Amino acid sequence: AQKVTQAQTEISVVEKEDVTLDCVYETRDTTYYLFWYKQPPSGELVFLIRRNSFDEQNEISGRYSWNFQKSTSSFNFTITASQVVDSAVYFCALSEAHNYGQNFVFGPGTRLSVLP
Amino acid sequence: DGGITQSPKYLFRKEGQNVTLSCEQNLNHDAMYWYRQDPGQGLRLIYYSQIVNDFQKGDIAEGYSVSREKKESFPLTVTSAQKNPTAFYLCASSIDLADRGQGGYTFGSGTRLTVV
């Protein structure tokens, strides 16, 4: 069965620091998708990124970057020069392609607090 | 603007009472979902519906019931049989189940239920 682990329950940083959120996953599928979502205090989950299992290229989007390493089953998320608006709960998630979306699992989440 | 509306944002229930959480979407999505969020446990799937008049149990369906009489609406009833109903409840939708597997979720802003 698939599983997503986010070992960091809560992280606090001071504004402008860089911070990395860890995500480790388990799956027996060779084809799968990995995701990161942000949940701000307003409650809704906001999609940040999707990565499929055949694309190990790292991705950068502004201050956000993602490092996907199949060898360690990790999909880590780095925020550079953090800002107070980055304070939120961040979820990593995994979907196995063989079941057409019926297997979609979220990690437990990491609460990030960015202090001014 | 298209989106998902959940109401109310906060709900208080006395022990032994049933309560219904509302979820409405105007995205013309076929699939809808209910998730429960508890601190440190991520999001767990309660029920999902792929099409009108059809729904399936998720991982933690006991003590909950749903209906899908209209495409736009997917209400969740928390029954008195649910032993620990205090939680944050999120509704989501996607074009179809396969779209969810590729991250095509849209989430509502949630309802926080407290049993008093």
Query: How confident is the model over A50-66, as pLDDT tens digits?
Result: 999 998 888 889 999 99
Shortest distance between the Cα of B42 and any Cα of chain A, in A, equals 4
Cβ A25 vs Cβ A92: under 8 Å: yes
CA closest to B37 among chain A residues: A108
- Residue A101 distance to chain B (closest CA, Å): 3
Nearest CA in chain A to B57: A102
Q: What is the pLDDT of residue B79?
A: 94
- The answer to whether B101 contacts A44, with C-beta atoms less than 8 Å apart, is no
Contact B109 A104 (CB under 8 A): no
Yes or no, beta carbons of B100 and A4 under 8 Å apart: no
Alpha-carbon gap, residue A74 to A4, rounded angstroms: 10
Instruction: Quote the minimal CA–CA distance from B10 to chain A in Å.
Output: 12
Asked if pLDDT for residue A77 goes beyond 80, the answer is yes
Tracing tokens 């490092």 back to the chain, one arrives at A67
**Position B101 pLDDT exceeds 80:** no
Cα nearest neighbour of A48 on chain B: B103
Residue A111's pLDDT band (boundaries 50, 70, 90)? Answer: very high
Q: Measured between alpha carbons, how far is A46 from B7 in angstroms, rounded to an integer?
A: 19
Cβ neighbours of B105 in A, within 8 Å: 45, 47
What's the pLDDT at B12? Answer: 93
Please give the torsion angle defined by the CA atoms of residues B58, A44, B95 and A24, in that order, rounded to the nearest 10 degrees: -60
Residue B6 has pLDDT above 90, yes or no: yes
Q: What is the overall mean pLDDT for chain A?
A: 92
For residue A45, which residues of chain B lie inside 8 Å, CB to CB?
A: 43, 90, 92, 105, 107
Of all residues in chain B, the percent with pLDDT exceeding 90 is 79
User: pLDDT tens digits for A81-105?
Assistant: 999 999 999 999 999 876 655 678 9
Tokens 């989007």 correspond to A61
A79 Cα distance to chain centroid: 11
Question: Which pLDDT value is given to residue A103?
Answer: 75
In this prediction, residue A100 carries a pLDDT of 58
The string of pLDDT tens digits covering residues B35-77 is 999 987 889 999 999 999 999 999 999 999 999 999 999 999 9
Q: Which of the four pLDDT bands, split at 50, 70 and 90, describes residue A23?
A: very high
- The first and second tokens of residue B116, run together, are 């008093």
